[in-house]
Amino acid sequence: MNTTPENDDAWVSKTQKKKQMDALQDLGAELTRLSADTLKKIGLPEDLLQAVLAHKKITSNSALKRQVQYIGRLMRETDPAPIEAYLAKIKGDNTAHNAYMQRLEMLRERLIEHDDVLTELVAKYPAINVGSLRTLIRNARKEKEQAKPPKAYRALFQQLRAEIGENDAI
């Protein structure tokens, strides 16, 4: 029986298979750039973990290329989704985290521009350290007026990040 796109829904072209294998090989190459501790946290299969760790010990360019190809072959037997998710989390591609950071940046800007935002923040988060926030806001305003380096501006962001959790609504 002939397997063609017309008579089989699961048919995949040779080019598409090669692209998938190259993508897995690239994912494996990304794994080789991670530290051993990080690799162990991902929960890789033992043979894949050993292959990636062996890659770190190889110095010859052609041997490195062969090892990456071997890692790519091992990746075919592994579900890439959890690995991709972990790498995305490490890279900071996590959109929820990015949105949280942007909300904090906007809050910092509003705190510097308007005095009433601090009272709203204290009402929402009663345990927040108001004294240090006021000092940082005042210093950030002075830095902005005097065109100084944004030391207090950054410290204000770090303070907000420490006080307001990522899962809290801002």
Which domains does the chain show, CATH number per domain? 14-91 (1.10.60.30), 95-163 (1.10.60.30)
Tokens of 47: 């043979």
Please state, for a pLDDT cut of 90, what percent of the chain lies above it.
Answer: 51
- Predicted TM-score (pTM) of the model is 0.52
Q: Which of 91, 87, 47, 88 is nearest to 71 (CA)?
A: 47
In whole angstroms, what is the distance from residue 112 CA to residue 138 CA? 8
> pLDDT per residue over 71-81, tens digit each?
999 999 988 88
Is the CB of residue 43 less than 8 Å from the CB of residue 87? no
Residue 167: the pLDDT is 66
In whole angstroms, what is the distance from residue 75 CA to residue 72 CA? 5
> pLDDT per residue over 125-149, tens digit each?
888 899 999 999 999 999 999 999 9
Residue ranges for the chain with pLDDT beneath 70: 1-9, 92-94, 167, 169-170
